[in-house]
Amino acid sequence: MSLTEREREIVALLRRDPMIGSAAIAETLGTTRAAVNVHLSNLGRKGVILGRGYVLATRPAVVVVGGANMDVKARSERPVVSASSNPGTATITPGGVGRNVAENLARLGTRTHLVSVVGGDTLGDQVLAATSAAGVHVEHVRRSTRPTGTYTAVLDADGELVVAVSDMTATEDIDTAQVAAARDLIAGAELLVLDGNLPEATLAYALDLAVAAGVRAILEPVSVPKARARAHLVAAERPLFAITPNRDELATITGLPAGTDREVRAAADALHERGVRHVWTHLGEAGSLLSGPEGAVTVGAVPARVVDVTGAGDAALAAFAHALLAGEDVVAAAAYGHAAAALTIAGPHTVRPDLTDTLVRSTL
């Protein structure tokens, strides 16, 4: 992370006395209080200081760049009858792949910063408030003139997804300038998690920042259409630490079949040749296949009673990243991710409000 000489002087003062005020800093350094406040604001944006009292950040951080929206979920009381009205229940909760991953990470205890966009509307207010309350740092979430995005999902009586409609136009406003404003924060992060919903230019720019700073980057492809549109960005000149597709997304990115485990391994090998260190392919009830420099390993799913499948993948990715920062190897991190996913689908929430590291480890 790049700090100016004056910023380094302020950090040294804060290490000696975290409760020192801006007036005292200004007097010590022979400058004005207004100038000190500008430097303190910059240190906050870089993730060096946290909150009131100018507490210095010590825990490793993850930066998540991706969508934030409101989820609308409707669940039928009985098996869905197409082209007809189905009695059921509906809920509205904050969502978005990037935002969900960030909230899961924060609830697990990882310091997490979100770079995103929400609308300047009531839904945007609610998303921001809920995300911040969960412990996510939202100083890099911008307000857009577009409406806050929505994800509308229809679930069958057994909790399985029937159909979903995603309106993520606000996510298109996450541009390179917004990511550039967070470049020092990204450069100081332990991990960068990227949502495949990002505009192509923004995703490419974020990957380039990670490469330049030597920061490990993880890409979540999100869907087959997004995987198809972003496949060319997965290239040797932009090496990824990990990518987390399902079978269909893996096939789309590589142009190879992925219907059998042997085909999944071959497709993963193709991605290794394109600079991806770890390919973590989700296989539904069969668990996942984690392929890396030491070979491929099947990681079993954790059994769970399905209430709602929404958010399982986001929980798995967040838990995987959290476990890596806790010092776990990639196989153990993947198993930890499966445990978090199982806990998520066993409840009605896209992100479990009671999610903790202790709760996840109790299921392993």
How would DSSP label each residue in 217-244? Answer: EEEE--SHHHHHHHGGG--TTS-EEEE-
Distances (CA, A) of 2 to 84, 186, 188: 59, 11, 9
Helix 97-108 vs helix 312-325: crossing angle, to nearest 10: 50
Quick check: helix, strand or coil at residue 298? strand
Distance CA 154, CA 87 (A): 12
Question: Cα(first)–Cα(last) distance of the chain, in Å?
Answer: 36
Distance CA 150, CA 283 (A): 27
β-strands 191-195, 61-65 pairing: parallel
Q: What is the DSSP letter of 296?
A: E
Listed in sequence order, the residues at least 6 apart from 235 whose beta carbon sits closer than 8 Å to its beta carbon are: 274, 275
Instruction: Give me the catalytic one of 184, 195, 308, 314.
Output: 314
How would DSSP label each residue in 62-78? Answer: EEEE---EEEEEEEESS
Distance CA 4, CA 7 (A): 5
Asked if residue 155 lies in contact with residue 71, where contact means CB atoms within 8 angstroms, the answer is: no
Tallying the residues shown for the chain, one arrives at 364
What sign does the CA torsion over 254, 255, 259, 263 have? negative
Is 261 a residue of the active site? no
Which residues are known to be catalytic? 314
